[in-house]
Structure 1
């Protein structure tokens, strides 16, 4: 049971990090280059996939 909650909390924290990265994705931001913006979006998508695998106990 402890592992179940740990997996869910870890997945939730990773999803939080992905949300922060996606929220930073702003078109024409004066301080973020287009390349960095695209990289943050890609990282957020990868983190989302990782969180799903952790939450489902690596099927």
Structure 2
């Protein structure tokens, strides 16, 4: 039971990080370059995939 709770909390934190990265996605910004913006979007997608695998206990 403890492992399940730990896995769910870890998944939630990873998804939170992904949401923060996707939330930084902006059309045009004087602060964030287009390349960095695209990199953040790609990182968020990778984090979501990792969270999915963790929540399913790496099937």
Q: Structure 2, unaligned stretches of length 5 or more?
A: none
Shift of 1:29: 1.1
Task: Give the Cα separation in 2 of the matches to 1:7 and 1:40.
Answer: 24
Q: TM-score, normalised by structure 2?
A: 0.98
| 2:31 corresponding residue in structure 1 | 31
Deviation digits for residues 1-58 of structure 1, max 9, x if unmatched? 0000000000000000000000000110110000000000000000000000000000
Structure 1 outlier segments of 4+, above 3 Å:
none
RMSD across aligned positions (CA)? 0.3
Task: Give the Cα separation in 1 of the matches to 2:23 and 2:51.
Answer: 18
Matched positions, count: 59
Q: Structure 1, unaligned stretches of length 5 or more?
A: none
Q: TM-score, normalised by structure 1?
A: 0.98
